[in-house]
């Protein structure tokens, strides 16, 4: 599944994983077009943020 970042980048979802030091924390693992891997806590990945005076979702699923 692919997601678009609010700044325009396209990222591929890899998996959701539990953080070893705190299994209650779910991390989203995703990769960029350059092959780099990234992680964010699930609540941050899907949170609503303020951008250019509007409330938008940080990442939004897109049809591939």
pLDDT attached to residue 64: 57
pLDDT of residue 6: 95
Mode of pairing for the β-strands spanning 37-41 and 22-31? antiparallel
pLDDT, position 63: 78
pTM: 0.86
Domain 2-61: CATH architecture, name and number where available: Roll (2.30)
Residue range 2-36, pLDDT digits in tens: 999 999 999 999 999 999 999 999 999 999 999 99
Question: 50 pLDDT exceeds 80?
Answer: yes
Question: DSSP alpha helices (H): ranges in the chain?
Answer: 42-45
Domain boundaries, the chain: 2-61
What per-residue confidence (pLDDT) applies to 14?
Answer: 97
Q: Which two tokens stand for residue 17?
A: 């994983």
């Amino acid at each position: 599944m692919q997601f678009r970042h609010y700044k325009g980048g396209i990222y591929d979802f890899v998996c959701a994983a539990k953080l070893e030091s705190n299994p209650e924390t779910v991390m989203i693992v995703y990769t960029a077009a350059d092959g780099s891997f990234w992680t964010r806590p699930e609540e941050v990945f899907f949170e609503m943020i303020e951008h250019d005076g509007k409330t938008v979702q940080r990442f939004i699923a897109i049809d591939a």
